[in-house]
Structure 1
Amino acid sequence: MAPDTTSTTDRTLPTSPVQTHARHGTWGRSALWVVVLIGIGWLLRGRQYLFNRSLWLDEAYLAVNFMDRDLGQLLFEPLSNGQAAPLGFLALTKLLTTALGVEDWVLRLQPLAAGLLTLLAAWGLARRTLPHRAAQATFMGLLALSPVLVYYSSEFKQYQNDVLATLGLLWLAARFDLQLWQRDAPVLAVAGALAIWLSHPSLFVLAGVGLVLWIEAIRQHQRTAWLAVSGMGLVWMLAFALHHTLVMKTLAGNQHLLDFWKFAYAPLPPASLADWRWYLDSALALVYLALRHVGVAHHGMLTAWFDPLNLGLLALSAMGSLTLAWRAPRLAAIGLAVLLATLAASALHLYPFRSRPTIFLVPLVHLGLAALVQAVLDRQSLPARHLLAAVVTGFALLVPASASWKVLRKPHNDQDMKGVLLHIANQMKPGDGVVIDSMSHKAFDFYSRDQGMQAMPVTVFRPTINQFHDAMATVRRLCIEQPMQRSWVIVTHRLQGRAGFLQHIASVAPALQRWDGDGAIALLYDFRASDYCRKYTAPNRAPTAPSPALPTQ
């Protein structure tokens, strides 16, 4: 192996494209592995997108807002079902649905585009930050293979925009030259303003970028560059002020979002052992999210956070992040500032630090692992450093690759409402109706139009912790109101948690048919002849008019 001739000066500054080019040869020599990694990432994302799974709860709650609202209502009125999204995300989606129709594959086009562009932005950042190809490949491979990023490239939510904004802004910050501020400042100013309208947490990234560049300009006595950076910050603040003013209107009375994420607000300053444990839990959750999580990032705690593999990955990522301060101090400082800004907002109950809202931080975990590979290769005195770097790279990539391989074979599909309704449409008879809980109802509303089932009578109930009461009260309501002859009971949300409800329903009458899908079930019943129903349909009891469906969440 040829000796590593990188100077100490090179290691304390972001690597320029010229340095990278000189060290590794022409673009043609390195193009193949870049194309392969990007191609793998695009293949995984395309496979999940083209599978065209059913909308799950959160997607359906947001999707129904596009069925009967114009652009003005989407942007300036509170979204239904307690939803919140950046206004740019809503506007672009509305343009797509106006042109192509309100279909699930159309709603997911914007996240897919963000997922594909993410890998291109990652390549730009890798070239600026990590001189060695092995480190660059580690970073690119982790992003390409990350199962959670594969999934969120096909979910109708804004989280993939968050990842793209993070990588894009970090790349522009890494290439920012204080002496060429006339070239770089306008680009970063516009990119930051656009990011604010497409991604809520981009504000934290911009805070880190602006602060670090501002301090650098002061330390280097670059007065004009300092003014340019200050001007960028002013543009970002104006964009945020306008967006924030409009978003606050759409979030009016949205207290349940604060209540839903109350466990995810940082205890600052930590005053007890439990407070410090919160930070450890959050760090483990972020590492697991970045490398191992498949499908929807729910907000509950997972036992796998605390297994030896996850603890080891956290240690390696932390070690790599520390070495990044030596290799690329600007980027390391920005990453630290972003993390602190996010925690500060969390402590103020302004932003949850857990689960899917933290997906925008996933690239920082990947960057830490890639920086560790770079640090190993930088240690010329380290025996077998290339072999050690290869082991670290292989281990780091194997973790997400094993999960994404399973997704490639069988794409993630939870709460398969489309499968349920297709079965019912093929089996239903005149007089059939649907019984469904309020957590599955919005997905039913979205897809029932495609199956011609809008005219079917629908009884909606709100699930509670008392599943016996849910079952008996629902059947009793059907017996008294008699809205349908046969009843299709549908459950697509938290199917395992509704086992008690289904058992109690089955105790009233035997199922005539059963359909099982991914995270979904449909059972056909005729309750009219059951002993339970006879108590409420005696000859002297006159049928009452059907009562309105219970309100949905």
Structure 2
Amino acid sequence: MATTVPATTHRLPAARDLLRSNALWLWLIVATGALFRLQQFVVNRSFWHDETLLATAFVDHGFAQLIFEPLANNQAAPIGYLLLVKLVTVLLGSHEWTLRLVSLLSGLATLPLAVAVARLGFVSFAARATLVGLVAVSPVLVYYSTEFKQYQGDVLCTLLILWLTLRFRPEQHRRDALWLALVGAVGIWFSHPIDFVLAGSGLALWLEMARRRERAAWLSVNLVGLVWLASFLADYLLALRGVPQNAYLAGFWATSFAPIPPATLADLHWYREAALGLVYLGFLQMGTAFREVLPGWFSGPVYALLALTLLGCVALAFQRVRAAAMGAITLMAVLGASSLHLYPFRARLILFLVPFVFLALAALVQQLHELPLQRAAPWLAAGLAAGVSWMPLRLSLHYVRHPHNYQDIRGALQYIADHRQPGDHAMLSSWTYPAYSFYAPRTGLGDMPSFVYQPTANEVHNIRATVRRICQDPASGRTWVLATNQIVANNRAFLEALQTTSPPLFTLPMEGAALFLHDFRSTEFCQRYRSTLPPPGR
């Protein structure tokens, strides 16, 4: 009689093998990163200031205007990115989530691409998991996957060119060169800093093929460079030519240009800040990356991460010369452009360099794994991988529980819409007005009058001049003062001047914003100016 073996005895070894599969764990890391991004996207936070500047400059433009006309509000974005977002909004409407959808898809696409790069670059699972894990859980990459800006697309382009560069083989140079030429030429229209990445890729391959005397492959790399150059020149003539001449942008980023050659101790200090800022950006940046130097850059953990990154660069140079050369040339190209005041080296504009930082740390993990310590080496590698991944993972987990909402303008205006009375109007600064103009029609406040003032150093003058205009309007009733975080956090003088004119009837603190309800009509200040109004009919 034949005996039947219970099915569980077959399933248990299969399940055990599956759990031991390195590929499974890599894809679980990818799934975790995807969940982080999708969760922040579903929250659908309000646009913050820069997003509303781009949105108000974008939504009323057609395809031709986006190609041939510069954006208003001193905004600059790649033409390809703008056209792709425009296509989405034409099909699905102009909402926060449709304007951010391209960024989300870019963020999701970086995850499997990081797996592909890790498999080409490293042998050990610990090193591969380090690269994939850091890309997946980096809080700044999660955040920019859900912002209406092009910076997550810059990261995607960096990883894509890095992958194509690592897989380039002389024996299949025609196929590999074709893909590099096509992807690079198209990517130039979707990312501004990809030009630096292409310089790193092209020159690294050109030097390697020349050194190895691979003449056919070397000629293919030359042709690739010509294709990229033609695409860059077309993009420059059509879109990029006016960006460096924008006086507002040049002034805004004035402290972010590299001093080359460094001539003073202050110049050397700039490079220290830049290095710490880049590491901080990849690991610890929470939310929008502003241009200001942050105190957190100079903390012990950031110095430790910078030291590990530098060691990783050395390890990468021994393990993957091509990747190390590409990263070094890319960095030199960015710094060179920065020294010419053509590209700021700071904050979100260097987000595209973060994958190179993660690549260096993965190389250091690989180096530890290869130490001749038998059993200890894998544990050291795993320990370093876990240590460098824990800091960004902790922050991303925090934002799962407390999602980003830097300026909840939509929530503030919705509250006004739910509690407004006839004659009510809004008072806000010109800094807040772009967000107000974007959200007012979407919250039913398109017909509500607003009084906008231009912030100056004299806040008392700002308040009194604006309240005087309100008092001189015979139809004005209560005043809803909308203050964004720039005012609440950095401009207490504004609030003090407002409250001494008339104490608020109501205060509503919100995430990144605050509402104050005032009624200036009965104040002595307002009565003085109301008495100067001419009688009705005159």
2:308 counterpart residue number: 316
Change (3 A) 1:543 1:261: farther
Q: Does 1:528 align with 2:504?
A: no
Q: Deviations over 1:432-477 (max 9, x none)?
A: 1111111111111111111221111111111123222222222122
Answer yes or no: is the 8 Å Cα contact 1:148–1:289 preserved in 2: yes
Shift, 1:30, TM fit: 2.4
2:395 counterpart residue number: 403
Change (3 A) 1:253 1:340: closer
- Give structure 1 stretches of 5+ with no counterpart: 1-24, 545-553
Alpha-carbon distance in 2 for matches of 1:48, 1:59 = 16
- Give structure 2 stretches of 5+ with no counterpart: 1-16
2:199 counterpart residue number: 207
Q: 1:349 aligns with which of 341, 351, 374?
A: 341
Q: Does 1:420 align with 2:412?
A: yes
Change (3 A) 1:28 1:236: farther
1:232 counterpart residue number: 224
What SS does the corresponding residue of 2:529 show, helix, strand or coil? coil
Q: Does 1:157 align with 2:149?
A: yes
Alpha-carbon distance in 1 for matches of 2:535, 2:119 = 73
TM-score by length of structure 2 reads: 0.94
Alpha-carbon distance in 1 for matches of 2:410, 2:297 = 33
Shift, 1:183, TM fit: 1.5
Q: 2:52 aligns with which of 27, 52, 60?
A: 60
Answer yes or no: is the 8 Å Cα contact 2:244–2:341 preserved in 1: no
Q: Does 1:377 align with 2:369?
A: yes
1:270 counterpart residue number: 262
1:393 counterpart residue number: 385
Alpha-carbon distance in 1 for matches of 2:202, 2:475 = 61
Q: What is the correspondence of 1:92-131 to structure 2 with a 5 Å cutoff? A: 92-131=84-123
Amino acid across the alignment from 1:194: V
Q: Does 1:83 align with 2:70?
A: no
Change (3 A) 1:146 1:358: same
Amino acid across the alignment from 2:251: D
Amino acid across the alignment from 1:132: S
Answer yes or no: is the 8 Å Cα contact 1:78–1:249 preserved in 2: no
Q: Does 1:42 align with 2:9?
A: no
Shift, 1:383, TM fit: 7.3
Alpha-carbon distance in 2 for matches of 1:74, 1:249 = 15
Shift, 1:298, TM fit: 0.8
Change (3 A) 1:162 1:543: farther
Amino acid across the alignment from 2:144: Y
Of 149-158 and 67-76, more deviation after overlay is shown by 67-76
Answer yes or no: is the 8 Å Cα contact 2:143–2:287 preserved in 1: yes
Q: Does 1:74 align with 2:63?
A: no
Q: Does 1:498 align with 2:491?
A: yes
Amino acid across the alignment from 1:65: A
Amino acid across the alignment from 2:55: A
Shift, 1:223, TM fit: 1.5
What SS does the corresponding residue of 2:147 show, helix, strand or coil? coil
What SS does the corresponding residue of 2:472 show, helix, strand or coil? helix
What SS does the corresponding residue of 2:177 show, helix, strand or coil? helix
Q: Deviations over 1:372-408 (max 9, x none)?
A: 1101111114772222212211110111011111111
Q: Does 1:440 align with 2:432?
A: yes
Shift, 1:74, TM fit: 1.6
What SS does the corresponding residue of 1:535 show, helix, strand or coil? helix
Shift, 1:517, TM fit: 1.1
Amino acid across the alignment from 2:108: L
Q: Deviations over 1:39-81 (max 9, x none)?
A: 1100110111110000001100000123321111122112110
Answer yes or no: is the 8 Å Cα contact 1:433–1:485 preserved in 2: yes
Alpha-carbon distance in 2 for matches of 1:142, 1:458 = 46
Alpha-carbon distance in 1 for matches of 2:535, 2:36 = 55
